[in-house]
Amino acid sequence: MVTIAELVAGVKDLLPLPKSYMRIQELVNDSDSSLDDVTKVIENDAALTSRILRIANSAYMGLASKVDTVGRTVQVLGLNQVHDLALASAAVGSLTKMDTGPLDTGDFWRRSVYCAVVARIVSKRRKIAAPERLFVSGLLHDSGHLLFAHRMPDRYAALRAKSIKTATPIHIIEHEEYGFDYAELGAALLRSWQLPEAIIEPVRTHTDDLATIDTKLVQEACVLHVGAVICRAAVWRSDVDEPVPEFEPVALQLMNIDSESTESIMREADESVIEAMTLLLSGAGKNGARANAA
């Protein structure tokens, strides 16, 4: 039986993150670095500069006034938020280069961006720290399915077909077949990229039994769980789509989620998803282009 390690092996070399992002990560983790150091790294990458400025000046970010230089953007947003924006850009750029066979990349990226937007909305409503970090976790929460579809296209298609036929959420089918699911596989992929554990852990745990999770992790796992359920409900069209998982009771309680708040979150998310997709996927690669056009 295939293992997570076998599926992840070599992906870091196949789909490396851009050197500019890796350097930003080093600087953010270095207490001796300065805002100017990060600014110079971004300014030396024309594509990253363009995307960071577009995102910073978007209605999505909601800044009070326009920022027209990288230096001003770094000052206004701060190192951690700039890191998260750079990571979102870098990860999307790398993942859209992956050959995903039977996986519908249009649906995949709509679902991923929707989850990211919902995670940001929920974390802000619940006053949870670092909503942009949870946005990135939401954006990457389903990356394990990209890897499943890339490494084992026929098995991925069979798993999805079984999920639809039996009306069983796909992560349950994956556990039955392999002993792990897309969340654990995605977390291993992100760990191979040496991403911050604070981004990885919500991805890894959002399909778990939330009642058993360490209290230090459960709040952010609940945010991503809510995002994962709502994004699947939002893109669900008919019985030929994957079934939508049920909310875990712990998530409903901790996030104060009911039918009224769910509808409110979806209305707010609907206003931001198209812009977020355009900002993140424009020019991101062949699969990004396909997702954008879908």
Identify whether residues 120 and 76 lie together within a single domain: no
The contacts of residue 63 (CB under 8 Å, 6+ apart) are 56, 57, 76
Q: Select from 227, 272, 277, 264 the least CA-distant residue to 62.
A: 272
At 35, give phi and psi (nearest 5°). Answer: -60, -35
Amino acid, res. 46: A
Residues 86 and 183 placed together within one structural domain of the fold: no
215 pLDDT band, cuts 50/70/90, is: confident
The structural domain count of the chain equals 2
Task: Look at residue 103 and tell me whether its pLDDT is greater than 80.
Answer: yes
Query: By the 8 A CB rule, do 104 and 237 touch?
Result: no
Q: Which amino acid is at 190?
A: L
Q: What CATH number does residue 227 fall under? A: 1.10.3210.10
Task: Examine the pLDDT at 229 and tell me if it is beyond 90.
Answer: yes
pLDDT at residue 276 tops 50:
yes
Instruction: Name the CA radius of gyration of the chain, rounded.
Output: 18
Report residue 59's pLDDT band, with 50, 70 and 90 as the boundaries: confident
In this prediction, residue 1 carries a pLDDT of: 83
In this structure, of 44-58, 179-193, 249-263, the range with the lowest mean pLDDT score is 44-58
**Mean pLDDT value across residues 247-276:** 95
pLDDT at 282 exceeding the cut of 80: no
Same domain, 152 and 76: no
- pLDDT value at position 293? 45
Mean pLDDT over 196-213 rounds to: 96
- Is there a single domain that holds both residue 168 and residue 281? yes
Q: What is the pLDDT of residue 294?
A: 46
For residue 288, what pLDDT is reported? Answer: 53
| Rounded distance between C-alpha atoms, residue 269 and residue 121, angstroms | 8
Q: What percent of the chain has pLDDT over 70?
A: 96
Domain of 272, in residue numbers:
100-294
Residue after which a domain boundary falls, among 37, 66, 95: 95
Tell me what the pLDDT averaged over the chain comes to.
Answer: 91
Distance of alpha carbon 79 from alpha carbon 70, whole angstroms: 12
| Cα dihedral sign, 153-155-161-163 | negative
Which pLDDT belongs to residue 115? 97
Q: Per-residue pLDDT for 284 more than 70?
A: no
Count Cβ atoms below 10 Å from residue 37 Cβ, excluding itself: 17
Helix ranges (H only) for the chain are: 4-8, 11-14, 19-28, 35-43, 46-56, 70-77, 79-95, 105-125, 131-140, 143-151, 153-166, 170-178, 182-192, 197-205, 215-235, 249-254, 259-281, 286-293
- Name the least confident of 5-19, 102-116, 140-154: 5-19
